[in-house]
Structures are given as C-alpha cells and as structure tokens.
Amino acid sequence: MASELPGMLLEATLATSAALVLVLAARQPLRRLAGAGVAYATWALVPLAGLAALLPAAPGLPGPIAPMVQPLHGAAREAGVAMQASGTMHWLLLAWLAGALALAMVFAARQWRFGRQLRERELRGDDGGAPLGPAVVGLWRPRIVLPSDFGRRYTPEEQQLVLEHERQHLRRGDLWAQALCAGLRCLFWFNPLMHLAASRFRFDQELACDADVLARHPRARRRYGEVMLKTQLADFGLPLGCHWQSCHPLKERIAMLTRPLPSARRTRVAGALLAASMAALTFAAWAAEPAAAKSEPLQSVTSHDVLDAPKYPAEALEQGIEGTVWLEVLVGADGVPKEVKVKKSSPGGVFDQAAVDAAWQWRFNAGRRGNDGEKVEGWVVVPVQFAKNEPAPADTPRA
C-alpha cells in the first residue's frame, strides 16, 4: 500500500486541483444566476473528485471523455513509478506526513486557544476587549457563542436575526463541511490552490447562510444589514467554527441584500442541473482511471535475465538471520520492472525492503509468451534467498 501512495496522492492532487479551478471560475456566475446556496454547493465537487481518483479503476469505456483526462492519470502513475525506482519515495512520504501533521497541529492549537479564551471569559465575566462571537463551535456538541455585551449591543429584532444566522449554520451542517475542508488542507498542504480556495469556500458558506436567513425573514433586509455593520468583525482563525470573519468582504455581503433572491423554481432547476453536472464530472474522473493492464504470466526466470543479488541487511547479518522473500514482479515488454510486490516472506518483514530495492534494478529478457519469442507484459514470481553459506538455485537471486 505504501508503495502505491505517491501515485495515488498525485492523482488525487490533480483531480482536486482541476475541481478547484472549475469551482473558483463558476462560483460568482452561479451566485448571480441561481443564488448563493447553489454556488456554495459546487464546493462538493472538490472532495468528490478526489474520491473518484482513488476509487478502483473503471472498465475501459469508449468515447471522448476518458482520453481528455487519461494523460493526467498516466503522468501521475509514471511519476509514482519513477519515485519508487529512484529511492526517493520514502523521503517524500515522510515529508508529506510531517507537513500534514504540522498543519493539523496548527489547526488544533487555534481551536484550543479559542476554547481557552471562552473559559477565561467565564471566569472574568466579559470578553476582555476581544469579542468572542457571534460564532458556532463544536462538532460533537455544537453551541452558539455570543459576545458578553450581546443584550446591550443588539435590539431584540437584531438578536433574533443573529441567532437565526447561527442556527442556519447548525441546520446546514456547516461545521462538518469546515472539518472536511480542514482535512483536505492537511492532506494537500503542499498545494497552494487548496489554501487559496479555503477562504473563498468560507465566504460562499456565509453568503449561503445569509441567503437562508433572508428567505425566512424577507422583510428584514435593512435590519440584517445594520446587524452586519454593528457586529465587530473579528477573525478568530478557527478551523472548525462559523463566525462573522473580517476576511469576509462585508461590502459584498451587504450588496447581496440589495439583490432579489432567485425564485424557488430557478433554484430547484439550477440545483438539479448542478447535481447532474457534478455526477457527470465525478463519473468522468472515475472512468478516466487507467484500468489495470491485462498482463500474462511469464515463463520462469532464465539465465538470460540479469538479477543482481540484494544487499544483506546488516542487522540480520550480525544476528545470523536467514530467510526467503517471494516477489511478484510485473515485467514490461522492455524487460524493465513496472511493479514489485512482496507475495510472502519468511521471516516476515526482515528482508522485504532489501529484496524490493534489488528487484527494481533487475532486467529481464523483455518478456516471453511460450516459445515464440513475442514480447509481452506479465508477472513473474522470483524467490530471493538470504543465506550465509547454503548455495541457491541458479535462477534464485541470493544475498
């Protein structure tokens, strides 16, 4: 599984990046045409595209869809194989894991700091000069956080609108959407497009929530605008929290109040078209997955094949450990290994890596089918023996 991770990560990166570019280009036209809710829903295409890239390959489908994106997947797989062959895979995996964990720790620290500020406020009885709220926090036990001067700052009508806004976040499951966004940012921390899109995603989320509030209170547009102006906009930096952030363009949010909401019919039609388009694009990404090559079994290893002996692990050599690793090698028509798997090993895990590293350097007699000499791609099972004194068969690499 670890050997396949670089290629999978590259494929998912390409798929999510293409989806991000599409969403970023379509969000504003969709907002004007069908409303903020439909524009916000398009962000679902990003995780769907990444998931489609990781699904098992689809059967080969004729038509123009697969050829358009097939080269991207082919490039990802070739890059993954190149990384394996060059020995850089482990370092890249460690760097990716370190970056993902570091960003996750940053998000966790921000969330913990906000929780600490709430606890300190409960002890002091006020916000201490830094208003905490309005906001919604908490995945498992969500709650609405209001500033300590909430009753004094807002009139009863304004309080109702503020609470309605936060309740809409809860009804719509926006906190879980933010959790997914944070998870994708951690997984693809190396992709600047993912971080750039995160702020747009949150802004579209707020606009969609504003539209829902106005749909429930159509005569409160002016009052709702006054609430936005009266609220002291503070950027809490919460990865998991819905709040009135300063990074949200307030001018654009207020401008939306002057535009009429799209009709329910237009919204339904646009939503149906969007769902169909997203399903088609997701299916196209899945259908473009290159199917596993139909490879045929090769004949047994012969004296014409160049199978260099692996390096005996120093620790095993010192302890006098011996063993055998059975490798499954996918040999291309050119005789170069394309994939190496450990079928079984004894003792398990001791000599696996040394055998795999050696196998990538092997060169076979360009594949055979029967005795006709035709070059084909196929699998061959090669036992690799690690023994200090005992001789090995002629066709068995021996350390």
pLDDT of residue 177: 94
Average pLDDT over residues 55-80: 49
- pLDDT at position 11, please? 84
Pick 108 or 2 by higher pLDDT: 108
pLDDT at 286 over 80: no
Q: For the chain, how big is the Rg over CA atoms in Å?
A: 29
Q: Does the structure show a pLDDT above 90 at 56?
A: no
pLDDT for residue 260 is more than 80: no
Delineate the domains of the chain, giving CATH numbers in brackets. Answer: 1-87+262-292 (no CATH), 113-248 (no CATH), 294-399 (3.30.2420.10)
Asked if residues 45 and 282 have their Cβ atoms less than 8 Å apart, the reply is yes
In the chain the beta strands, taken as DSSP E runs, fall at 135-137, 143-145, 241-243, 323-331, 337-346, 378-386
What is the CB-side half-sphere exposure of residue 149 using CA atoms within 13 A?
10
pLDDT tens digit sequence for 118-153: 888 878 777 666 667 788 888 888 888 888 888 888
* Most confidently predicted of 215-219, 255-259, 362-366: 215-219
Closest CA to 182 of 143, 238, 137, 233: 238
Mean pLDDT along residues 303-308? 79
SS3 letters for 288-341? CCCCCCCCCCCCCCCCCCECCCCCCCHHHHHHCCCEEEEEEEEECCCCCEEEEE
pLDDT band, residue 249 (cuts 50/70/90): low
Q: Check residue 107 and give its pLDDT.
A: 93
Does 181 score more than 90 pLDDT? yes
Quick one: pLDDT at residue 180? 94
Q: What percent of the chain has pLDDT over 70?
A: 71
The yes-or-no verdict on residue 1 having pLDDT over 80 is: no
pLDDT above 90 for 176: yes
Q: What is the pLDDT of residues 346-360, one digit of tens each?
A: 888 889 999 999 999
Specify the higher pLDDT residue, 393 or 98. 98
What's the rounded mean pLDDT across residues 78-100? 69
- Predicted confidence at residue 130, as pLDDT, reads 62
> What strands, in cross-sheet order, belong to the sheet with 241-243?
143-145, 135-137, 241-243
pLDDT of residue 70: 45
pLDDT tens, 196-232? Answer: 999 899 989 988 998 899 888 888 888 888 888 777 5
For residue 251, the number of C-alpha atoms closer than 13 Å in the C-beta half-sphere is 0
Report the pLDDT value the prediction gives residue 240, as an integer from 0 to 100: 63
Closest CA to 175 of 220, 225, 239, 119: 239
What's the CA gap between 214 and 91, in Å, rounded?
52
Residue 2, CA distances (Å) to 8, 74, 189, 335 in order: 10, 19, 19, 24
The pair of three-digit structure tokens given for residue 66, joined into one six-digit string? 């697969």
Over residues 147-164, mean pLDDT: 88
Q: Residue 355 is encoded by which pair of tokens?
A: 């055998």
**SS3 category, 96:** helix
**Which one has a higher pLDDT value, 2 or 15?**
15
pLDDT above 90 for 43: yes
Phi and psi angles of residue 135, each rounded to the nearest 5 degrees, phi first: -160, 165
Instruction: Give the pLDDT score at 128.
Output: 63
pLDDT surpasses 70 at 280: yes
Total Cβ atoms within 10 A of residue 200: 15
- pLDDT the model gives residue 370: 47
- What is residue 17's predicted lDDT score, i.e. its pLDDT? 93
Q: Is the peptide bond before 134 cis (omega within 30 degrees of 0)?
A: yes
Helix (H) or strand (E) holding 399: none
Mean pLDDT computed over every residue of the chain? 78
Assess contact for 77 and 338: CB atoms under 8 A: no
Binning pLDDT at 50, 70 and 90, where does residue 72 land?
Answer: very low
Q: What global pTM score does this model have?
A: 0.63
Q: Which residues of 256-287 are buried (b: 16+ CB within 10 A; e: fewer)?
A: bbeeebbeeeebeebeeebeeebeebbebbbb
- What DSSP assignment string belongs to 345-356? EESTTTSHHHHH
At 321, the amino acid letter reads I
DSSP one-letter string for 15-55 = HHHHHHHHHHHHHHHHHHHH-HHHHHHGGGHHHHHHHHHHS
- pLDDT above 50: residue 247: no
Poorest-confidence range of 41-55, 72-86, 264-278? 72-86
**Percent of the residues in the chain that have a pLDDT greater than 90, as a whole number:** 24
The residue that leads in pLDDT, 279 or 366, is: 279
